[in-house]
Structure 1
Amino acid sequence: MRKIFLRIMLPALLGAYFSTATAQVDKKVLNWYNSSKTGMSTEKAYKKLKNITPETVIVAIIDSGIDIEHEDLQGKIWTNTGEIPGNGIDDDKNGYIDDIHGWNFLGNKNGENVNQARLNVTRIYADLKPKYDAIDSADVKSEDAKEYALYLETKEEVESNRAKYEGIIAQTIQFKEQMLPMLPGMIANMMEVEEYDEKSLKKWKAEGAQQEQMKQMGLALLSGDLSEEAIDKQITQIQGMIDGHYNPDLNERAIIGDDVYDITDTDYGNNDYEGPDALHGTHVGGIVAATRGNGLGGDGVADNVVLMSLRAVPDGDEFDKDIALAIRYAVDNGAKVINGSFGKSYSSLQKEVYEAIIYAQENDVLFVHAAGNSANDLAINSNFPAVRYDFQELPFTHLLTIGASTRVHEKELAARFSNYGKNEVDIFAPGYEIYNTFPDNKYEAIAGTSMASPMVAGVAALLKGYFPSLTMAEVRQIILDSGDYFGDTYQKVPGSEELVKFDNLSRYGKVVNVKAAVELAKERTEAK
C-alpha cells in the first residue's frame, strides 16, 4: 500500500492518521544512514573496496514508478539491450513490447494508467457484497460459512474506516474555520507577548504537553505547513482515501481490461516507467542507486547498480497478479536483487505470489521486502507478501523482511511506525529521516520501512557486485551475520512505550552494517 508522506502533523485529532508522517526536512541528517556513528558505515565500507572493480548488478524496483530522467539517477537506469526503442515490436521475444527500462503493469496499450486504487480489503468486500449483502446469516450454507465470515470482516473494516475518515475531515474543517484564525492570538497569549516570530517561538519553553502541541502548531503556521492551503491539501488526500481506498464501487482496473485473478492473462501494460505519481518509487530507487559523492541529495548505498523500473504499486493496494508477474519479469530479465517496498493486510492470490518468490529463489535472486508501517507484530498481523504461508512447501532462502531503525539508539532504535516480529522481521535498517530523490530533480526526507528495504537491497547489490562469486543466498546470510547487534538493549516496542529487548523485535536483533558485511564477504570469498 502506498503511504502518504507529509512534513508535519496536524493537531491531536489527526494524530492517528498521520502517525507515519515524516519530520521536517533537515539537511543536518543528510546521509546519516551511510555514516558510521548511527548509520550503516557505508562510507567506511567503500574504503575497503578501493582496489576492486565491481560488476554491475541489476536491481528491480517494484513500486509506483521511477523518474528515470532524475539528475541524480543518470547512468543508473537499466536498459534492455535486446529491445529496439519505439519500433512497436517485441524484439527480444520476452512478451513485452518496447520494454527498454522495465514495464508498467498498471497501464494499457493506449498509455492510460491506473493511479488511485482500492485497498485489497475493499476489493474483497466488493466482490462478496453481491452474494451476501441481502442474505440473512441463518440462510448461509455451511460450505459458505468461512467466506461469509470474511465478508462480514471486510465489510466492517471498510465501513468503519470510511466513517472514521469522514469524521476526520469534518473535524479538520472545523479546526480550519474556527481555531486556525484564533491560533496566532492564542499562542501570543500563551507566551505572554504581543507578537512573536519563529526565532522567539523556538526559544520559548513550553510547560506540559498542551503548550508543546500549541508551540508545534505555531511553528507549522509560521512555516506555511499549517496554512489553509496546506490543510485543504490534506483534506483532499483524506477524501481521496474515501473515494479510492475504501470505495467498493471503484473499478480501477477497467482501463486495463484484464482478468485480475488470471495470472496467465498477461497481455496488458505499457512502457511508462514513471506513471502519474513516481514519488515513492523515485525515492526508493535513489536510496539504492543515487550517484555517490556528487553533492546532490543523499548518496545511494550502491555504486555498481542499475535500476529496473517495474511499476506495480498504485495509490492504494497493489494487485497480487501484477506483483507476481513483476517478480517473474525481474528474474527473467537479469535482476539479482528485487526490492519490494509495499505490503497489505489482505491478499487474494497468495499462491501465485508465493510461487513467484520461489521462482526468484530457484534462480538465485534475492527478494527484499519492507516489513510495513503499522507498528504491528507480524506474528499476529500479516503483511503480504507474507514471511510464511499456511500452504507453503519450500522454505524461503532468498527473502529478507526489513524493519525501520532510527538515528536514536537509546530506547528508540526501532522507528515508532515499524512492524516487527521475533520470527518474522529479519533485520532492521535506517528508515527514518531519509533524504533522497523525488521526481523533477527534487529531494525530500521521508520515513518508512519502504526506505529501510532499499537500504538492504543496495547492500545486497553492492556485495554481489564486488564479490560476484557469492550466491544471493550467501549474500543474504552475510547481511544477517554481520549486522550491529543491539539485541540486549532495551527499546520501545513500535507504537507504544513498552520497553523490550531488541531481540524480541526481529530474528537477529541487529541493524545492517555495510562495512562489517564487506569484511565478512571478503573473508567468506577467500575461504571458498
Structure 2
Amino acid sequence: MKKRILTLSFALFSVGVMNFIYGQKTEEIKNWYNGPTPGMNTEKAYSSLKKQQSTTVIVAVIDSGIDIEHKDLQGKIWTNEDEIPNNGIDDDKNGYIDDVHGWNFLGNPNGQNQDYARLEKTRICAELHAKFKDRDESGITAAEQADYAKYKELLKSIEAERQENLGALEQYTQLQQMFPMLKAKLVEKLGENFTEKDVDAWKAESPQDLQLKQIGKYIANGQLSEDAIKEGLQHLNASANYQLNMDYNDRQFIGDDPDDFNDVRYGNNDVEGPDALHGTHVGGIIGATRHNELGGDGVAENIRLMSVRAVPDGDEQDKDVALAIRYAVDNGASVINMSFGKAYSKHQKEVYDAMAYADSKGVLLVHAAGNDGVNLDENPNFPTNEYSFQSKPLDMYVCVGASTRDKKHLAADFSNYSSRQVNIFAPGFEIYNTIPQSDYKILQGTSMAAPMVSGVAALLKSYFPSLSMKEIKDIMLASAKQYKGTMIPSPGTGSSVDFGTLSTTGGVIDISAAVKMCQAKVKK
C-alpha cells in the first residue's frame, strides 16, 4: 500500500499532508461516524438489539500489523486455541509455528521484519530493465514489442513521479526550516493559542501577511504542524529510497521467492511489525472497546481481530496477499478487511484464486476503493472484482468508498468511485481511533471506510448468526441510506455529480436500517 500525499496549495508553498494522517480537534469529531446520518446510526442500532444475545465473530485484518497490547483492544484479539505459545512447534500443523494471534508474511524466522517495499510498477520495471536496458529499439523483436512498450511506459512514469517527489521534498525541507519562524510571527499577531476564528478576524493587507494568514488557517485547524511536515518528509524519503528505487531488494531477508506460490512456509508470528499505525487504526474502527471514554468506539462489540501482516510501506506482494487471504479463511475468519490496493498486479490469477477460495467458503472480503479520486472503471485498484478473465463477479466481495460528515461534500474528495465497481460508501474522513502505544489519532482514507463495513458485517453476523454472510452482505447494500439525486463535488475533479452515480447502491451504510432488515428476515 503506497501511502499517498494530498496537496494543499498555498501561495508560498505546496504543502502535502498524508491522506490518512490529519490533525484536528478531536472532541468535535470523536465518534461522529457512529452517530446519526451522515454517520452510520450505530448507537440507534444497538438500542434495537438490547434484548438479543450476540456470538463471537472473527475478523481478519490484512494490513501493516496490529498493536495487540493496545489498552482499547484488550479482549478483542483473536487467539489460536490450537497453538501453544512460544514452544517453537507448529501444534495445529497448519504450517505456521506459534501463530497465536495471526501471522506475519513480511518477516523471517529470526524475527527480522520488512517495513518498506517497492511499488509494483517499480518491481515490474526492474525485471524489464534487466532485459532491455542495454538494447536499442531497432533490435527489439516482434515478440518483445509489448514488453518493451510496457518497460518504456513504466520507466517514464517512475521517473516523472520521482521528479515530482523530489520537488515536494525540497518544499517540505524549506517549510520545515521556516515553520518555527512562521508560527512565531502568527503568535505575535494573533496570540499564543490562536483559533480559526482569530485568523478569520485578522485584517491582513500586505501580500506577506495574506500568505501568512492562509498558513495560519491550516495551522489553526490542525492540517499543518511540525509532525505533519515530519511525516511528509519521511514518506517522501521512503518513496525515493524504496518505492521508486529499482535496485532495492524487497525480499532481501525474508528468504522466499515472491513468484513461487508453492513456496508458502515463510514469515514469523510478529503480528505487529515495525509500523502498525495503519493496521491498529483499522482494527480499532472494527472493534475497539465501546463506551469506555478512551478513544473512538469500535463498530462491533463481540469480535476477535486476527492480525495478518502482509502490507508494507509500498506495494504489497501478490503472493503475500493471496496467502494472507487463505490463512484467514482456514483459521476461521468470517470477514476479511483489506484496506490496501495498488495500480498494478503481476500475479492477478493467483490473487483471484485466493479470493474465490474465500468466496467458496462464505467469507466476506471487504476492500478499500483507494484514495486517488478516480473512476475505477478507468483506473484499476488491485485486488478487484473485475479481473479481465473473470466470468462473473464474486458474491462475497464489497468495495467501499469514503464519505464525510458534510452532506454538501458527502464523498471524500480523495475517494475512488465507480457506478459498477464500488458498492457502497462509509465514513472515512476525520476518523479518530487507535494507533500503537495505546494512543489515538485522526486518520482518513478509504482505508478507514472499509473497516466500517467490516465492523457492520461482523456486528450483524454476531447478532444474527443464522444468516449467511452472503445474506448479510446483501442486506448491508440493500439498506444503505440513499442519496441518489444529491449533487455534490465529484472526488478528484470537484465538478458537480450525482452521489448516486458513484457506487452500485448510490448510498452510505446505515447500521440501524440493516439491523431492522435482519430482524425482519429472521422472523419470517
Q: Is the 8 A contact 2:308 2:324 kept in 1?
A: yes
- Are 2:403 and 1:408 aligned? no
- Equivalent AA in structure 2 for residue 471 of structure 1: S
Match of 2:285 in 1: 287
TM-fit CA distance, 1:501: 0.8
TM-fit CA distance, 1:506: 0.7
Q: Which SS does the other structure have where 1:393 is aligned?
A: coil
What is the aligned length? 520
Match of 1:269 in 2: 267
1:490 to 487, 490, 495: 487
| Structure 1 residues not aligned, in runs of 5+ | none
- Equivalent AA in structure 2 for residue 154 of structure 1: L
Match of 2:46 in 1: 46
Change (3 A) 1:288 1:500: same
1:237-268 deviations in whole A, cap 9, x for unaligned?
31121001111111020101111011110110
2:444 to 423, 434, 447: 447
1:199 to 184, 194, 209: 194
Change (3 A) 1:297 1:226: closer
Aligned positions of 1:327-406 closer than 5 A? 327-406=325-404
Q: Which SS does the other structure have where 1:429 is aligned?
A: strand
- Are 2:508 and 1:511 aligned? yes
1:240 to 238, 241, 244: 238
Change (3 A) 1:16 1:443: closer
TM-fit CA distance, 1:231: 3.8
- Are 2:161 and 1:161 aligned? yes
Change (3 A) 1:110 1:385: same
Match of 1:183 in 2: 182
Calculate percent identity across the aligned residue pairs.
51
Match of 1:55 in 2: 55
Q: Is the 8 A contact 2:3 2:235 kept in 1?
A: no
Q: Distance in 1 between matches of 2:523 and 2:517?
A: 10
1:426 to 415, 423, 426: 423
| Structure 2 residues not aligned, in runs of 5+ | none
- Equivalent AA in structure 2 for residue 236 of structure 1: Q
Match of 2:301 in 1: 303
Match of 2:461 in 1: 464
Q: Is the 8 A contact 1:256 1:269 kept in 2?
A: yes
Q: Distance in 2 between matches of 1:35 and 1:297?
A: 15
Q: Is the 8 A contact 1:10 1:217 kept in 2?
A: no
Match of 2:132 in 1: 132
TM-fit CA distance, 1:393: 3.0
With normalisation by structure 1, the TM-score equals: 0.93
- Cα RMSD for the two superposed structures: 2.5
Q: Distance in 1 between matches of 2:99 and 2:375?
A: 39
Q: Distance in 1 between matches of 2:257 and 2:449?
A: 33
Change (3 A) 1:208 1:523: farther
Change (3 A) 1:242 1:5: closer
Q: Between 229-238 and 112-121, report the one with greater CA deviation.
A: 229-238
- Equivalent AA in structure 2 for residue 153 of structure 1: E
Q: Is the 8 A contact 1:5 1:446 kept in 2?
A: no
Change (3 A) 1:307 1:174: closer
TM-fit CA distance, 1:159: 1.1
- Equivalent AA in structure 1 for residue 302 of structure 2: N
Q: Between 133-142 and 10-19, report the one with greater CA deviation.
A: 10-19
- Are 2:82 and 1:82 aligned? yes
Q: Is the 8 A contact 2:5 2:17 kept in 1?
A: no
